[in-house]
Amino acid sequence: MTALHRIAKAPDGQAVLSDFRWAKLCEDVAPALYGFEANPQHLSNTAWAFAVLLFRDLPLWAAISDSSMTLQSQLDPQNLSNTVWAMATISLRDQPLLSAIARQATLKIKHFTAQPLSNTIWAFATMHLRDAPLSEAIS
């Protein structure tokens, strides 16, 4: 997970997508997105890295989604906002996950700082989604 984050932060990070080692890295990351190895920060950081790199591998995104749904109550405001921001950035509309994120964000809205709050608002607006309880909690 750390490797993905570092690649995404590198100025030439997107160039790695054409490197043969990228496929191997993704192959190695996939199992870690499930089960006992998955944790909320790893999931959201992976989603963020894939979005920054504009990498839209649907099986890997499905793994992120499945594990995020399982761990949704453990996602903190930063994890929630990173995940929904990533989905909006690559135009991925996973309605069950978006609904879960909206629900958790509504429950945890008092713990959001300015950046996660603005990222969450931006993501829902970008995807033209309106969740009434989340909108009410934000306002």
pLDDT in tens, 42-77: 899 999 999 999 999 999 999 999 999 999 999 999
What is the SS3 assignment for the chain?
Answer: CHHHHHHHHCCCHHHHHHCHHHHHHHHHHHHHCCHHHCCHHHHHHHHHHHHHCCCCCHHHHHHHHHHHHHCHHHCCHHHHHHHHHHHHHCCCCCHHHHHHHHHHHHHHHHHCCHHHHHHHHHHHHHCCCCCHHHHHHHC
Q: Is the pLDDT of residue 35 over 70?
A: no
pLDDT confidence tier of residue 80, bands split at 50, 70 and 90: very high
pTM of this structure: 0.91
